[in-house]
Structure 1
């Protein structure tokens, strides 16, 4: 599938007259709890030719395309990506940490990784993950019969919140890294590992009776994190100058023109 995805990325470059700087897997495959029938969620950052930017009208700054072979393609134009990076957008930060990389061309993404600490906002990221956890918990996990796979979509953001709270850094993309660092209770870990093995083996996790141990853990952590989030310091405006410089440097590096 990697070859097929790379072929599609090359097609996009030709079709849209762009250069893809970075392309990775996102979602459940990158997180480490995909099933055999999971889609391929390919996310990429691209840059147009310099003349595309030298016009008075704004144009579309993203691409989205779902292919028949379960490949979901979505890309952000570089300026859009940089604006989101400036806001400590968690999706953008996860892309930079994805364990499955299809393309990494030129130096832009490596420069962004070097700037992560400068632009990382615990408040922004923790609120993002907490909202994700609450949504999955309240919408799917409060009934007597619950969709088992939704436990992962509540557990991962809860553990990401705890990682951010403890380390003051962006949470890792892979679920197992969060488990290893944040789950110390042996019974809880055993319950999660059992579900993870079933899902990774391709079992279709349908509705089953609610798991008390996981339910109690999520209930307690979400309540705690809601209170914790109230005390986080407000966002501070980030310095745009380094990102403007990175944008200009990338245009020069990719297209060979001095900006």
Structure 2
């Protein structure tokens, strides 16, 4: 285990002690998970956690996000499982991405895998297309206009648009890895593919990638894709969805697994449900 991995685990244990929660799952998000980190990229740690059963019976709703101050090296924050499952019901792309991450710091209980298994059923092409399209459109308008642009921002428009194209082609959650999206969706031997690959090599080698002349071949592609998905997004289906009843049972099972079957709340639920 690397020193940074050890430090991340120490931070997670500190959060558990300070917040009186249990961390169910923790992973890397952002550029490291997407496969294009710079040499100085920070670590974007995301996690799901669960409070004690009695916290969910309070008149005052417990805060459903835990955040730690961002440092030069670490950006750590997480969602309460209840919030996560509510967003999963809406096919939330960030959560779907967390669950796919190959860089996992912890997976201490079965709930993350249970959600993962439900992902194909819960996946909504329309919701995800709109999410990625809005992300691409916002970053394009903010960073990639004019004769000189923040050149590293190309990745933050390319990746969501390639995710849209993956959904259109395969009707499934797109992979995290940028290189997989490029290899599958941008034809080899084209100027676009060559330009994107060269930019990726530069970013991963530590080039500054700040203000530079815009790359017309990429800008043209981005404008075409944004225009296309703005028109096409409404044609995608909503998916089958996962019922709240199924997610309620998953939530209760997680409470029982983490805090024990003997908790008063869990026992009460078992009696009411006839188990």
Q: TM-score category by the smaller chain?
A: over 0.9
2:184 equivalent to 1:203: no
- Partner residue in 2 for 1:241: 245
Change (3 A) 1:185 1:215: farther
Aligned partners of 2:85 and 2:247 also within 8 Å: yes
**Whole-Å separation in 1 of the counterparts to 2:22 and 2:192:** 46
Aligned pairs for 1:184-223 (under 5 A) are 184-186=187-189, 187-223=191-227
Aligned partners of 2:28 and 2:103 also within 8 Å: yes
Q: Deviations over 1:1-49 (max 9, x none)?
A: 1111011001111111111000011111111111112121110000011
**Whole-Å separation in 2 of the counterparts to 1:80 and 1:134:** 27
What is the aligned residue count? Answer: 259
Aligned partners of 2:28 and 2:44 also within 8 Å: yes
Change (3 A) 1:67 1:162: closer
C-alpha root-mean-square deviation of aligned residues, in Å? 1.4
Task: Name which of 157, 162, 165 aligns with 1:162.
Answer: 165
Aligned pairs for 1:62-101 (under 5 A) are 62-101=65-104
TM-score (structure 1 length as normaliser):
0.96
**Whole-Å separation in 1 of the counterparts to 2:118 and 2:210:** 42
- Partner residue in 1 for 2:17: 14
- Partner residue in 2 for 1:120: 123
Q: Secondary structure at the match of 1:21?
A: strand
**Whole-Å separation in 1 of the counterparts to 2:73 and 2:38:** 13
**Whole-Å separation in 1 of the counterparts to 2:229 and 2:82:** 33
Where does the alignment leave 5 or more consecutive residues of structure 2 unmatched?
267-275
Aligned pairs for 1:125-140 (under 5 A) are 125-140=128-143
Q: Deviations over 1:40-73 (max 9, x none)?
A: 1110000011121222221211111124352111
**Whole-Å separation in 1 of the counterparts to 2:208 and 2:172:** 34
Task: Name which of 214, 238, 252 aligns with 2:256.
Answer: 252
1:211 is displaced (CA, Å) by: 0.9
Q: Secondary structure at the match of 2:68?
A: strand
- Partner residue in 2 for 1:3: 6
TM-score (structure 2 length as normaliser):
0.90
1:238 is displaced (CA, Å) by: 4.4
Q: Deviations over 1:61-92 (max 9, x none)?
A: 11111243521111101100100011000001
**Whole-Å separation in 2 of the counterparts to 1:68 and 1:97:** 25
Q: Deviations over 1:150-191 (max 9, x none)?
A: 110110001000001111111111111111211114222111
Q: Deviations over 1:232-252 (max 9, x none)?
A: 345777411111111111111
